[in-house]
Amino acid sequence: MKVYNSQEIKNIALLGSKGAGKTTLAEAMLYECGVIKRRGSVDAGNTVTDYFPVEKEYGYSVFPTVFYAEFLNKKLNVIDCPGADDFVGGAITALSITDTGVIVVDSQYGVEVGTQNIFRTAEKLHKPILFAMNQLDGEKADYDNSVEQLREAFGNKVVQVQYPLACGASFNSMIDVLLMKMYSWGPDGGVPTISDIPESEMPRALELHQKLVEAAAENDETLMDKFFDQGSLTEDEMREGIRKGLVTRSIFPVFCVSALRDMGVRRMMEFLGNVVPFVNDMPLPITTQAEEVAPDPNGPVSLYVFKTTVEPHIGEVYYFKVMSGTLKEGDDLQNMNRGSRERMAQIFCVSGQIRTKVDQLVAGDIGASVKLKDVRTGNTLNEKGCEYVYDLVQYPAPKYQRAIRPLNEADAEKLSEILTRMHEEDPTWEVVQSKELKQTIVSGQGEFHLRTLKWRIENNDKLPIEFVETRIPYRETITKASRADYRHKKQSGGAGQFGEVHIIVEPYYEGMPAPDTYKFGNQEYRMNVRDTQTIDLEWGGKLVVVNSIVGGAIDARFIPAIVKGLMDRMEQGPLTGSYARDVRVCIYDGKMHPVDSNEISFRLAARNAFSEAFKAAGPKILEPVYDVEVLVPSDKMGDVMSDLQGRRAIIMGMTSEKGFEKLSAKVPLKEMSSYSTALSSLTGGRSSFTMKFASYELVPGDVQEKLLKAYEAEEKED
């Protein structure tokens, strides 16, 4: 295989909503450049890019898949991305690694919420975008309406390069207003017939050509001057202007294709090869040390590992982008994240499962390797002396979580190993062993995302598992001061146990003054502060312990044991066993025994005194509340709002955003358990949402009562 230099490499992400036809388009591209001799289909389960068993089972993409096409003496590295919002991590990975995004739009449905979400991600990453208007041969195809929706959503930067002469079953020709030619195909598609534009189409073609010329000229002063002087540009000048406009995101070209019938695919590939930016046209990536790295083949060798898969009979396959230098087979590299050394014994260019061995890859190229010792997704590998470290991919926060456990408890360790491996394959599957909730929590982007995880564990690893409802990480606190004392006394022959502790508890807030005097009933308690200990709790909030012991009632050596007893109850709150927070405890009296007092006695006395005082101090349960943003079609706004209000949501605001409504709300985590499924059902999959932790808030009285009763019943069962 030819070694391509940085000026011959284009890196492209194939994006779009679920069902838009990305995988079918990928097959047509692979067929057009000769990588495959026969096109597969999603229905038959024999496509190059959907090769994992779960993808064949479900009939949709789960992982981003790399393939390459050698076309017009250029190398196109393409990443075919999943379209479902549940697998958005793949699209984010691809856009972070590539230089141009091709958003495939189903012309039967126009701009969908997935189109919006992907475009927003590309905008955030400052990546060029072009649109491929697909399925023009579909029964409901409406090109003009779809283009109008694109303009409404993304502005006048949307510029047509092509338009079809007809949509639906009769689609077989289009006008290219860049080349000013008509392209026509026979029933089987493939190589087009190129002819002059019919006279009847010339007015529309000239109008769109002029708009394209103007859009190209706007991106270069020299071209603009020439356009004003001559009123037109040459084909090469237009290409140059469009390339510059793509880099600055001031132009979004629209192309016409039928991926299924292989119509328009070759022409779009010509544009990708000739016009879209090369690797070295794009802004330079920046390391974690804020250093720009040029794709210089003569620079130090530096790779970024952006994806890991596990494949039968091979093991782990590591996908990387060469950020700098020229990687050669056999190079020894340093893993900057893990400190290990790796030998790149074999390097490949890949198309799905098809691996082509190569001797070297230059800066800007994408490749893969196997049998590395200690590499993880997101690692940087450098030659000796190079200090670059990259953090190129920022994954979204999870939206859906469940507790996971094996049906056979003896398989717990095996499940843990599998989950660790699967997180490497898809970092948006997050796994946490929760000490607080006593559960293994798996988080993802939606119900389908976790259902896919379950399918793979049960079918690939043959390990039966189940999902159960995730416990909510409530917090407990108090709203007023109270007092309690407790004597722990135990005698069973020989030395016994004795410890008595008197405490006052009260709500803690930042900057509160030192304790002075408390009054409970008719009795006054004056504090004589000896020292104060502030403990920052891992789960948020504080425990402040004030030692006001006078007259040696409790020896100073027992104070640490008392603090441990208090912490025992902070870790397992008296109300529901949840973590407690923001409490100040004043230890003001107690008793000792010269023989029987010891640390365990005072620890137990403190625990019980704290429980009694806490329950008498106006105890409240706090619940985690999240900021939720929902992007919803206008016609579904009422349904979505009603559903949120039924989930105890507080609506914070509504704004319009390019054909969709954005609804902002604060919602308790308890009510978001199956929200992704409910939202999809309410809106026919046309909505999406994000959620981010906001704060802990008091639960309503009726909810607290239910929680207390549930915990009491659970304690009795135990």
Q: Are 574 and 613 in contact (CB under 8 A)?
A: no
Per-residue pLDDT band for 718 (boundaries 50, 70, 90) equals low
pLDDT at 229 over 80: no
Q: Quickly state the pLDDT bin for 480 (edges 50, 70, 90).
A: very high
Mean pLDDT of 297-309: 96
Query: What is the CATH T-level fold of the domain 476-618, as seen in this structure?
Result: Ribosomal Protein S5; domain 2 (3.30.230)
Q: Is the pLDDT of residue 414 over 80?
A: yes
Q: What is the rounded distance in angstroms from the CA atom of residue 293 to the CA atom of residue 304? A: 12
Handedness of CA 298, 300, 306, 312 (dihedral sign): positive
CATH pick for 409-471 out of 3.40.50.1000, 1.10.3720.10, 3.30.70.870, 3.40.50.1980: 3.30.70.870
User: Sorting pLDDT into bands at 50, 70 and 90, what band is 61?
Assistant: confident
Contact 281, 247 (CB under 8 A): yes
**42-51 average pLDDT score:** 86
**In which band, very low, low, confident or very high, does the pLDDT at 54 lie, cut at 50, 70 and 90?**
confident
Q: How many CB atoms lie within 10 A of CB 499?
A: 30
Here the tokens at position 6 are 């940085």
By the 8 A CB rule, do 328 and 37 touch?
A: no
**Which tens digits make up the pLDDT trace of 600-646?**
999 999 999 999 999 999 999 999 999 999 988 888 899 999 999 99
The sign of the torsion formed by the CA atoms of 19, 23, 25, 28 equals negative
Domain regions of the chain by residue span: 6-201+251-281, 302-382, 409-471, 476-618, 622-703
- Asked if residue 261 lies in contact with residue 134, where contact means CB atoms within 8 angstroms, the answer is no
Residue 656: pLDDT band with limits 50, 70, 90: confident
**125 pLDDT exceeds 80?**
yes
- Length of the chain, in residues: 718
Strands 531-536 and 542-547: antiparallel
Which class is 302-382 in CATH? mainly beta
Tell me the CATH number of domain 6-201+251-281, given options 3.30.110.60, 3.40.640.10, 2.40.50.100, 3.40.50.300. Answer: 3.40.50.300
Q: Is the pLDDT of residue 557 over 90?
A: yes
């409910």: which residue's tokens?
678
- CATH assignment of 622-703, given 3.30.70.240, 1.10.357.10, 3.40.50.10490, 1.10.3720.10? 3.30.70.240
Longest dimension (CA), the chain: 112
Q: Is the pLDDT of residue 574 over 70?
A: yes
Between 42 and 258, the more confident residue is 258
Q: Write down the pLDDT at residue 714.
A: 81
What is the mean pLDDT of the segment spanning 587-605? Answer: 93
Write out pLDDT tens, residues 251-278.
Answer: 999 999 999 999 999 999 999 999 999 8
Per cent of the chain over pLDDT 70 is 99
CA pair distance 536, 470, nearest whole angstrom: 26
Residue 123 CA, chain-centre distance (Å), reads 16
pTM: 0.84
Q: How confident is the model at residue 659 (pLDDT cuts 50, 70, 90)?
A: low
In CATH terms, are 409-471 and 622-703 the same topology? yes
Q: For the chain, first and last CA: distance in Å?
A: 67
Amino acid identity for residue 313 in this structure: H
Please state, in angstroms and rounded to a whole number, the distance separating the CA atoms of residues 481 and 617.
5
Lowest mean pLDDT among 215-229, 426-440, 529-543: 215-229
How far does CA 527 lie from the centroid of its chain?
A: 52
pLDDT digits (tens, 9 = 90+) for 184-196: 999 888 899 999 9
Q: What's the mean pLDDT in 208-233?
A: 82
∠436-437-439 over CA atoms, to 5°? Answer: 125
Radius of gyration in angstroms for the set of CA atoms belonging to the chain, rounded to a whole number: 32
On average, the pLDDT of the chain sits at 92
Residue 567 and residue 583: Cα distance in Å, rounded? Answer: 11
Q: How confident is the model at residue 658 (pLDDT cuts 50, 70, 90)?
A: low
What digits encode the pLDDT tens for the residues 363-405? 999 999 999 999 999 999 999 999 999 999 999 888 889 999 9
